[in-house]
Chain A
Amino acid sequence: QKEVEQNSGPLSVPEGAIASLNCTYSDRVSQSFFWYRQYSGKSPELIMSIYSNGDKEDGRFTAQLNKASQYVSLLIRDSQPSDSATYLCAVNLDRGSTLGRLYFGRGTQLTVWP
């Protein structure tokens, strides 16, 4: 059973704080990991992709990947009210396949209050 699990939240943080979002996945051979942001009623937009163990930083966002623990996280520094959205973790779980299918977690709803 291929699974991507996220803490569903909701997560509520004050403006300026660090928001921490977590995701675990079931398949050890997964190679590609993504964080998407989805505003209510809209489609997902890509925030980060990460492929290697360790941290990857892009502006206020940092993705962290630990393949041994099958864990990927997203940190949002200096959170802004405009960051309030649902954050979706997506993992490519197709072992050895070129299909490139992504499996999505249920998402974590983040609210940043002023």
Chain B
Amino acid sequence: GAVVSQHPSRVICKSGTSVKIECRSLDFQATTMFWYRQFPKQSLMLMATSNEGSKATYEQGVEKDKFLINHASLTLSTLTVTSAHPEDSSFYICSASSGLGNIQYFGAGTRLSVL
């Protein structure tokens, strides 16, 4: 199956700092990458959709100036949580799709804890 790598797996940071999360498709070209957030005992909430070389499409209620997404190549997308606060603490998961059948393959996730 397709492999998606996500780093780091865990981040603990102080309030007010920025955190960058990387998502890479290792063995396929991802025309589209997706960023999700998951709070405990809840399902995945889509934050944004990014296509290589274009601006990300954010879901309603997601602050685009706080969650910066860059999709610089067909294998790499980054999510930067700017000026993180404790309420941003969550499990952030990326996924990548080549477009075939709308199948998304997920990275391992990043657990962010903001103190």
Contacts and interface: CB of A to CB of B under 8 A. Distances in A.
B75 interface: no
Given A43-B93, A43-B109, A100 B43 contact: no
Task: Give the secondary structure class of A's interface.
Answer: loop
A16 interface: no
A46 B105 contact: yes
Contacts of B1: 46
A25 interface: no
Task: Give the secondary structure class of B's interface.
Answer: mixed
Contacts of B44: 44, 88, 104
Contacts of A106: 42-43
B95 to A, nearest CB: 8
Interface in B23-53: 32, 34, 42-44, 46, 49
Interface residues of B, number: 22
Contacts of A51: 101
Contacts of A95: none
A100 B104 CA distance: 9
Interface string A76-100: 0000000000001010100000111
A43 B108 contact: yes
B102 A100 contact: yes
